[in-house]
Amino acid sequence: MDRVALRGLKARGHHGVYPREREEGQTFIVDLVLGLDTRAAAADDDLAKTVHYGIVAEEVVAVVEGEPVDLIETLAERIAQACLKHDGVLEVEVCVHKPDAPITVPFDDVTVTITRSRV
């Protein structure tokens, strides 16, 4: 399976279990790896035969900016399902970063990574 990756998609969302997170929002960062077969697109040099990663990026940002959820696990699942709606995408790995998570000790990042497929 071939891979198309998008790294570092940034969007402001209002996800979290604490009222402050819901009210003020924070930046979330999303990394995606889309699994698909790119041979037909490459052979014909045809965008219609692969996934349009610009559109996928816009859809992912819309999910992050959309309806708030408590858990980044839920957010990752919603992003995965949006990606799998594209015909050529057979599998997706989603990593959601929450670098401003409300943790009381020094840290660099919090992430949840999931892999989903059509099968």
pLDDT, averaged across the chain: 97
Residue 16 has pLDDT above 80, yes or no: yes
Given 10, 49, 85, 98, which residue is catalytic? 98
pTM of the model: 0.95
Read off the CATH number of the domain in which 105 is found.
Answer: 3.30.1130.10
Say how many residues make up the chain: 119
> Which residues, listed in sequence order, are joined to residue 30 by a DSSP beta bridge?
9, 96
Question: Quick check: is 98 catalytic?
Answer: yes
Q: How many separate domains does the chain show?
A: 1
The residue range of the domain holding 11 is: 1-115
Confidence at residue 118, expressed as pLDDT on a 0 to 100 scale: 87
Confidence at residue 7, expressed as pLDDT on a 0 to 100 scale: 98
Residue 119 has pLDDT above 80, yes or no: no
What confidence tens digit (pLDDT) does each residue in 54-108 have? 999 999 999 999 999 999 999 999 999 999 999 999 999 999 999 999 999 999 9
Residues 6 or more apart whose Cβ sits within 8 Å of residue 25: 12, 13, 14
Task: Give the count of alpha carbons within 13 A of 85, CB side only.
Answer: 10
